[in-house]
Structures are given as structure tokens and as C-alpha cells.
Amino acid sequence: MRLPSRQALIATVALLVTVAGCGGPATRPTAPSPPRDAGSAVASSPTGPRAFTLVATGDVLPHTEIIRQAAEDAGGSGYDFTKMLAGVKPVISSADLAICHMETVYGPDGGPFTGYPSFKSPPQVARALKDAGYTSCDTASNHTLDDGSAGIRRTLDAMDAVGLKHTGSARSADEAGRPALLKAGGATVAQLAYTYATNGIPLPEGQPWAVNLIDRDRILADARAARAAGADIVVVSVHWGTEWQDEPNEQQLTLAADLTSRQSDGRQDIDLILGTHAHIPQAYEKVNGIWTVYGMGDQLAGHMFNYSGAEDPRGNWSSIARFTFSPPGPGGQRWTVSKAEFIPQLTDLGPPYRVLNLTEAVRRDPGRSDYARALEHIRSVVLSRGGAAAGLTTAP
């Protein structure tokens, strides 16, 4: 894969800073957003940098049944995904920065739209993500090339139209060399994104930059370029791991250790790793002092089936990661995570299909044994690699 040089990456990002197979499905008006800082105990300063919250969620994977639900929610005219995300909108919209993972690409305005195995989602998904409060979405996945370069173009065009930042796939070599640059608390946050593969679909001819593939040296070079150009915090989103496996695989463990151990000028190159792809919740772990989320699970998906062919409810269970970043102290070099939290989440298959804050759902309906079982499993897996001892808590 032919990539831009490190110097080109630095120059491009500097300019930006200056100007500002998946499991298959079975065959078969939201409230106003609260203020961006609502519900977080975040210190603020009117004159300087302040602490801020960053939330991130897992795979948005609109199977055919999810597309059908969006059509029903729209009353038969178009597609409305906002109602499916309304249950977690308060969490997403109250964060200073919110990052999603858009697993699929979008089809043309009038369709046709398809689910598994080759996805083309309605572009109205982008509007719903923006409405929920997302700032940026990473778009690097094994399904990024399901409709070639046309699918990438439509997806990024739709995100641009609603004001969503994006990273991980690109319409040009110049765009591929730029991270998403986000602002919060007086900090510049660079988001980078990469995928392990593209389901055997080759990169479009003459477009080796169409989607970012995992390469340790490339990731580090991109992170250092972003840092050199002014990024205070570097967040890396990675589509990796083994589907349906609770534990991180060897690639995840090795890459996380490599990326978090690297430093430039006495400062670690990467500040946070956010993982997707496995379809099920995986652990959060502090690796070399850096929080690594191995897998958040599917945020929105239809009925999911594991490799044995059995429907597996874990494919609809996930976590919302929430990290509070605090500014450097006197003489300090880097922003640090001062609070690490997770919020259990579930796609209720209804009907209707709805994404829920699982903790709240259990409070409202303590008799739902399926909710209680999901909550216990998510907590157990997320904390399975020492997260609690490192300070990770379940958000109230």
C-alpha cells in the first residue's frame, strides 16, 4: 500500500490545525438534547484549558431488519434512525466529544439498500448519528469496500452534509493523510482509524489510500505527524479482534502493547485506543498507562448469529466508553485521563428495535431477566483484565 510520506502528513495536518464476515440477521420524536456538559463532574476554567468528556460507542451495523424498522419509524416516507438511538441520546449528547463507529457504507439516496453480507445503508443514518450528538465517526472496517469507492464517497458526503467529522476512509489521497481534528476543553484531539482487512475486496485501482489498513509503523507515523502538527491528544480507533471471542486475540494484545509503549520527546505517541469488530463486548485495560478498549460491541444491529449458526444475544450487547481528560498540570506535557467509565448498552430487538442505556433499563424494569443477564455479562467482560483496579467504574 503506497502511503503519503511522514512530511506530507505533518504538512497536511498542520494546515488543518491552522484553519481550525459479520454475523447475519434472521430472515424475517426524541427529547431535546441536554447541555453538552450536563451530568459530568468536569472542572472548567473560563480562561484556560478545562477537563472534558469523550464518549465512544461500537459498531453501527444496519441489517435489513434495522433498515425496515427505520422505514416504519419514518411513517412510510424515507428512513428515520433517530428513534432507535433516542434511548442513549442523553449520554451521547451530554459529552464534549462523541465518537461512533460506522461499520457500513451508504447507498444512493433512493436505494437499493442492503444488509448482510454486503451492506449498503440508507444515508439517513448520518443524520441520526448527528442528532444523537456524535462529533465524529470512524469509517474503517472490513465492510468499507462493500460498494467500492462509490460507497465511500456517498458515506463521507452524507457525513459532511450533516456536519459529522470522519476518519478511516477517504475520497482522495489528500483526505487520507488527515486525521479528524476535534476540539474540546481547549485541546486539539486527533482521531485516527484503521481496519484489519476488507473481506478480501481489493483496494480500488489507483486508490491505495481508500481505507486505512492496520500497520503499526503507519499508525505511529500518523500519530507523530498529528502530534507534531499540534494535536494535544491522539485517539486511535481500530477494527480488530476475533468475532464472538470475549478475550482479545494476539494481534490486539501485541498491537496495543506496541502502540502504547512508543514515545516521542518523552511523551507517549497515543493517548487512547478504541476497538471495534468482535460484535460482542470485550475488556478495557490500562496498557503502559494508556486506556485500551479492546471491543465495545455492536451498538445497533439486528438478530446476530455466531459461527455455530446459533442466535447469540451478545451480538446486541455493548458498552459506551466515557473518559474524562484533564489538562496538564504546571510544567506538564500531556493531557491525562482523570476518570474512566463505561455504560452498559443493549439493542432491544423489540419490536420495535431500540438502543437502550442498559443500567437505566434495568432500573425501570427490574423484572426483565434478559436485561439483568446482559448487564452482568457486560460488566464481567469489561472488567476482566484489571480495569477496576486501574480505576474503571460503571457510570451511575
Is 3 contained in some domain?
no
Structure confidence at residue 333 as a pLDDT band (50, 70, 90):
confident
pLDDT of residue 176 exceeding 50, the answer is yes
The residue-averaged pLDDT of 24-53 equals: 52
pLDDT of residue 332 exceeding 90, the answer is no
The residue-averaged pLDDT of 112-116 equals: 98
Of 151-155, 231-235, 263-267, the one with minimum mean pLDDT is 263-267
Is 173 contained in some domain?
yes
The residue-averaged pLDDT of 39-62 equals: 78
Cβ atoms of residues 66 and 115 within 8 Å: yes
What φ, ψ does residue 53 adopt, rounded to 5°?
-105, 140
Residue 20's pLDDT is what? 35
pLDDT of residue 315 exceeding 50, the answer is yes
Is 8 contained in some domain?
no
Range of the domain at 271: 49-394
Is 224 contained in some domain?
yes
Is 63 contained in some domain?
yes
pLDDT of residue 262 exceeding 60, the answer is yes
Residue 188's pLDDT is what? 98
Residue 57's pLDDT is what? 98
For the chain, what is the mean pLDDT?
90
The residue-averaged pLDDT of 330-342 equals: 92
Is 39 contained in some domain?
no
Residue 263's pLDDT is what? 96
Provide the CATH number for the domain around residue 232. Answer: 3.60.21.10
The more confident residue out of 26 and 283 is 283
Structure confidence at residue 204 as a pLDDT band (50, 70, 90):
very high
The residue-averaged pLDDT of 157-167 equals: 98
Cβ atoms of residues 50 and 186 within 8 Å: yes
Is 145 contained in some domain?
yes
pLDDT of residue 38 exceeding 70, the answer is no
pLDDT of residue 167 exceeding 70, the answer is yes
Share of the chain above pLDDT 90, in %: 85
pLDDT of residue 280 exceeding 70, the answer is yes
All three cell numbers of 212: 486505512
pLDDT of residue 363 exceeding 70, the answer is yes
The residue-averaged pLDDT of 50-67 equals: 98
Structure confidence at residue 131 as a pLDDT band (50, 70, 90):
very high
Residue 120's pLDDT is what? 98
pLDDT of residue 53 exceeding 60, the answer is yes
The count of domains in the chain is 1
Residue 9's pLDDT is what? 40
pLDDT of residue 95 exceeding 60, the answer is yes
Q: What is the rounded CA–CA span in Å between residue 341 and residue 111?
A: 39
Structure confidence at residue 47 as a pLDDT band (50, 70, 90):
low
The residue-averaged pLDDT of 364-376 equals: 97
Residue 201's pLDDT is what? 98
Cβ atoms of residues 86 and 354 within 8 Å: yes
pLDDT of residue 60 exceeding 60, the answer is yes
pLDDT of residue 24 exceeding 80, the answer is no
The residue-averaged pLDDT of 36-46 equals: 42
Is 26 contained in some domain?
no
